[in-house]
Amino acid sequence: MKYLLKSIAVIAIISMISCGGKEEKKNDAPTPIGVQKTETPKKVETENTVKPSQRVDLTNKGVGPVKNVELGETIDEAMAAKGAEVFKANCTACHKPTKKFIGPAPKGILERRTPEWVMNMILDPEGMVKNDPLAKDLLQEFNGSPMANQNMTEEQARQLVEYFRTL
């Protein structure tokens, strides 16, 4: 009986201080950033020293609405001209046709990427960065500067690809 009483008393005391206990926890110092860093496993990526922008991958179609694009034998000049206009109105704030600016130059892009990948990157850059490993690596290479979604139509994206062929 005495034992029982004692234990009830202990419970009572514990429940009395239980609120205080919580508050103490709040006062804990945040985990130092340095500690977190050492806990992160180091990524081993020795096999891939080529910059993501220079990597050649002509099979990856990316992730997005565009599944299959057939490029014509010759460049469709009318479509390319439309693409040039779209490029000027929506892309030049970050891309110059032939040299790196905020983002990479589109010149020669189709030697390294499929047209589907290029169009998916234009149409859904957020989705690509999330789901396409290469797009994710590119974001790193370009300082975490995200490609803006300019709300292009699929037709406009196709015109841009045709324009890129002329560069």
* Interface residues toward other proteins, by CB under 8 A: 1, 5, 8-9, 11-13, 15-16, 18-19, 88-90, 92-94, 101-102, 143-146, 148-151
Q: Least distance from C-beta 68 to other proteins, angstroms? A: 26
Beta carbon nearer to other proteins, 114 or 163: 163
C-alpha dihedral sign at 48, 54, 109, 139:
positive
Beta carbon nearer to other proteins, 103 or 114: 103
Q: Least distance from C-beta 149 to other proteins, angstroms? A: 4
Beta carbon nearer to other proteins, 54 or 143: 143
The answer for residues whose C-beta is within 8 angstroms of residue 68's C-beta and 6 or more apart is 61, 116
Beta carbon nearer to other proteins, 98 or 149: 149
Q: Least distance from C-beta 62 to other proteins, angstroms? A: 19
Facing residues of 57 across strands?
113
Q: Least distance from C-beta 88 to other proteins, angstroms? A: 5
What span, in angstroms and rounded, lies between the C-alpha atoms of 140 and 145? 8
Beta carbon nearer to other proteins, 71 or 129: 129
What span, in angstroms and rounded, lies between the C-alpha atoms of 58 and 8? 73
Upper half-sphere CA count for residue 92 (Cβ side, 13 Å): 8
| Intra-chain end-to-end CA distance of the chain, in Å | 92
Q: Least distance from C-beta 19 to other proteins, angstroms? A: 5
Question: Crossing angle for the helix pair 115-123 and 154-165, nearest 10 degrees?
Answer: 130
